[in-house]
Amino acid sequence: MKFIEVKNYQQMSETAAEYIMKKVLDNPSITLGLATGGTPTGTYQNLIKDHQKNGTSYQHVTTFNLDEYIGLAGTDKNSYRYYMDENLFNHIDIKKANTFVPKGNGRNIEEECNRYEDLLAGHGGIDLQVLGIGSNGHIGFNEPGTSFQSKTHIVNLAPSTIEANARFFNRPEEVPTQAITMGISTIMKSKEILLLVSGESKRDAMYQLLHSELNENFPASVLKNHPCVTIIADEAAILDLKIPMLKE
């Protein structure tokens, strides 16, 4: 694991955006894996700024998102499809047809999971996967206890995840209780992973990530088995953590 320590959220967002931009410039037809949540919004804002200022093009880029709530249509403002359109896709020159998010409101969700897994494999997999981390160590929506062998599947969201995500909804009861998520093995097939961690609420998760053994009860620990992971974390997330062994 490569570790980049930054001062704050703003610096994490700038550093992550520069990292992604460079990859896009090196490989204009890159396949990106994208995350939602509060963590990557600043990164996306910086990608948009750069696109507007420097013209970095996404015309040949393909994206696959990690997850989607079950029961929400893509037009629902709390769906991850809507989030991606609003926070990134509508502001860059990417072709919408090349942006994939699982469909959370279809009739047959099992079938959708298999379709998404096959679609991703058919595209040759992900070159660079952007990840956030849940305070309970989830990646995508793979909650503690998820098999490391899992493919795209249906999950019941942990109460702590529902609580953490309630801030995006009008009322906590509106948070869906289930989601579709890429599985852990799906994520691990990515050629490269960029994990973004910011804020005090992620400090415990960061500690466990650095100090725990591989453990399905802490999903992010699987990243220790991946050959190419870069973590960008800010001071609030790593305060007092001993991480010299990870620094380059």
* Residues lying near ligand GLP in the complex (CB under 6 A): 35-39, 66-67, 132-134, 140-141, 161, 165
Q: Output 4 or 220, the one with its CB closest to ligand GLP.
A: 220
Catalytic residue check, 138: yes
Q: Output 10 or 57, the one with its CB closest to ligand GLP.
A: 10
Q: Which amino acid is at 178?
A: Q
Catalytic residue among 138, 142, 165, 234: 138
Q: Output 3 or 44, the one with its CB closest to ligand GLP.
A: 44
Catalytic residue check, 170: no
Which residue is it, tokens 């970095």? 56
Catalytic residue check, 50: no
**Minimum separation from the CB atom of position 66 to ligand GLP (A):** 5
**Minimum separation from the CB atom of position 196 to ligand GLP (A):** 8
**Minimum separation from the CB atom of position 82 to ligand GLP (A):** 14
CB of 35 closer than 8 Å to CB of 132: yes
**Minimum separation from the CB atom of position 83 to ligand GLP (A):** 10
The 3-class SS string of the chain reads CEEEEECCHHHHHHHHHHHHHHHHHHCCCCEEEECCCCCCHHHHHHHHHHHHHHCCCCCCCEEEECEEECCCCCCCCCCHHHHHHHHCHHHCCCCHHHEECCCCCCCCHHHHHHHHHHHHHHCCCCCEEEECCCCCCCECCECCCCCCCCCCEEEECCHHHHHHHHHHCCCHHHCCCEEEECCHHHHHCCCEEEEEECCHHHHHHHHHHHHCCCCCCCHHHHHHHCCCEEEEEEHHHHCCCCCHHHEC
Catalytic residue among 67, 68, 117, 234: 67
Closest by CA to 180, choosing from 120, 246, 223, is: 120
Q: Output 35 or 194, the one with its CB closest to ligand GLP.
A: 35
Q: Output 56 or 112, the one with its CB closest to ligand GLP.
A: 112
Catalytic residue check, 136: yes
**Minimum separation from the CB atom of position 78 to ligand GLP (A):** 12
Residues carrying an active site annotation: 67, 136, 138, 143
